[in-house]
Structure 1
Amino acid sequence: MKRRHLFEFEDLTWFPDVFRRGTTDFLSFVFSKTNRYAPVVPLVAEALDGKDPVRIVDLCSGGGGGIANLQRDLSALLDRKVTVTLTDKYPNLEAFEKIKQSCEGIEYETGPVDATDVPEQLDGFRTIFTAFHHFKPDMAEAILRDAVEKKVPIGVFELGNKGSKAIAKLIVTVPVGLALVTPFLRPFRMSRILFTYLLPVIPLATIWDGVVSILRVYTPDQLREITERIESTDYEWKIGTAVHDEGVGKGEVIYLIGAPVE
């Protein structure tokens, strides 16, 4: 598989938490305000049709940005309550608690959750938003294989904007966005101000991670290549792209949805 897999600062265990949170809090804010994953809500609803109760187990949640939009839109479309459990290998408990307090039906795991071996008590429709590209092909396959072996549905969703135009746009918009919204991010921290305006570590790290993300997002063909290596007669995959058009959020969403065959 021809694919660039450069490092992202967010993935590095030694990367200071103050910088990691600065990046993830900004991205969480962006996704919560733009609702870029709205086009995949009908796809998730279709996969969940007939399931009761409806439970989402969100893997690699990061700052949890956008999950409240998903819960709201999915509940409205299905006309019943949808619960969400946020999880991560390095859980951002402060961000998770903030989301929990503002959204009824959203909970979180306080301990680390490995996406390649999700505990069986976390039963529900697994989702991964804007994080699947962090994993090399063998790890990505292991994540999908774990869902297949445990006979649970999974949905992988990534922004599909790629190429030099997307990179140029990101390089321009990220520092401007951070400069505008940083004072309004909560909880307020002087360290966030310091490392955004005076020593711009957070903008530089966010730009680097964003460019690398664009370069290593799996294409639909690459996702098919991974799923073809997972042998199963009672599990099916749906892979494609959905278009969103929300001004600054205009573009594509690449999706992969797998589910056991009834």
Structure 2
Amino acid sequence: MKRKQITQIINVRWFPKFLKTLVAEFLSWFVLKVNATKPFIPVIEDILNKTYNKRIINIEFGIGAGIETVKPFLNDGVKVDSIAISNFNTSEKGVYLFVNSFHQLNASEAKKILQNIEESGNPVVVVEGNNDSLWQIVGMTVFVPLTVLLTAFFVKPFRISRIIFTYLIPILPIVIVIDGCIALLKLYNPTDLLALTSSLENNNYEWKAGKNDNGRGGKIMYLTGRKLQ
């Protein structure tokens, strides 16, 4: 696989929890503000419809830009429940969903989780708003830091600590850019995702991976899995 398993700053134990919260709040606010997760919806709805499901089981990583950025676009009647990744299990029935978070798992963890979901007979959707293109790297190193600096006063909820650690002590723009670039290196592209599932033994389970246009000149990446009827 081309991806690299590198630890992001927000994942190290010494990184203060309140700063991690500020990072997650910015990511969620910004992603929702620009409707960056709207292109996920056709992928998610396709699996919901094909598997006759009305329930999503979100796997929560607590890193921001997760299910909270998807819920506003879901059809009425779709129920969403969340399970922390630390408590992951497949005892619940529904579509297991990973939103902008699957790259946090190393290859062995990712494969084991997909195998567990497959064995449970439940469907799964993995969606990532970033991709492995050069344009994405340019955006992460140029556009993102400017956005952090220009929007600190508008991010909800408003916090004085965000202002302090954006302008007086610019930890937030530095961490967001560094972690954003690391996240790009950690992404599983469609080839990587299919490599994870290729050795899973279940001829009655279908895996698909690919890229879709995001409507802004970029791509989203996805993996879906479902039990064939």
Length-normalised TM-score, structure 1: 0.79
Equivalent-residue separation in structure 2 for 1:31 and 1:183 (angstroms): 16
Deviations 1:86-127 (A, max 9, x none): 3434xxxxxxxxxxxxxxxxxxxxxxx43xx3251x432111
RMSD: 2.2
Question: 1:85 is matched with which residue?
Answer: 81
Question: 2:203 is matched with which residue?
Answer: 233
Equivalent-residue separation in structure 2 for 1:206 and 1:42 (angstroms): 28
Deviations 1:1-57 (A, max 9, x none): 332222111222332112111111111012111222323322222211266661111
Question: 1:235 Cα deviation (Å)?
Answer: 1.3
Equivalent-residue separation in structure 2 for 1:50 and 1:230 (angstroms): 21
Question: 1:212 Cα deviation (Å)?
Answer: 0.7
Q: Counterparts in 2 of 1:1-262, with a 5 A limit?
A: 1-49=1-49, 54-62=54-62, 65=65, 67=67, 70-75=70-75, 80-89=76-85, 113-114=86-87, 117-118=88-89, 120=91, 122-246=92-216, 250-262=217-229
Deviations 1:177-201 (A, max 9, x none): 1122222223332222211111111
- Structure 2: gaps (5+ residues): none
| Closer/same/farther in 2, CA of residues 171 and 128 from structure 1, 3 Å limit | same
Equivalent-residue separation in structure 2 for 1:125 and 1:9 (angstroms): 30
Question: 1:108 is matched with which residue?
Answer: none
Equivalent-residue separation in structure 2 for 1:132 and 1:37 (angstroms): 15
Paired residues of 1:64 and 1:86 also in contact (CA < 8 A): no
Paired residues of 1:61 and 1:86 also in contact (CA < 8 A): no
**Which secondary structure does the structure 2 equivalent of 1:44 belong to?**
helix
Equivalent-residue separation in structure 2 for 1:261 and 1:235 (angstroms): 6
Equivalent-residue separation in structure 2 for 1:64 and 1:163 (angstroms): 22
Question: 1:211 Cα deviation (Å)?
Answer: 0.3
Identity %: 30
Shifted more, 50-59 versus 127-136: the winner is 50-59
| Closer/same/farther in 2, CA of residues 27 and 64 from structure 1, 3 Å limit | closer
Given residue 45 of structure 1, which amino acid in structure 2 is its aligned partner?
E
- Structure 1: gaps (5+ residues): 90-112
Paired residues of 1:127 and 1:156 also in contact (CA < 8 A): yes
Equivalent-residue separation in structure 2 for 1:209 and 1:23 (angstroms): 10
Question: 1:147 Cα deviation (Å)?
Answer: 0.8
Given residue 144 of structure 2, which amino acid in structure 1 is its aligned partner?
V
Equivalent-residue separation in structure 2 for 1:47 and 1:53 (angstroms): 8
Question: 1:141 Cα deviation (Å)?
Answer: 0.5
Length-normalised TM-score, structure 2: 0.89
**Which secondary structure does the structure 1 equivalent of 2:137 belong to?**
helix
Segments ≥4 residues shifted beyond 6 Å: none
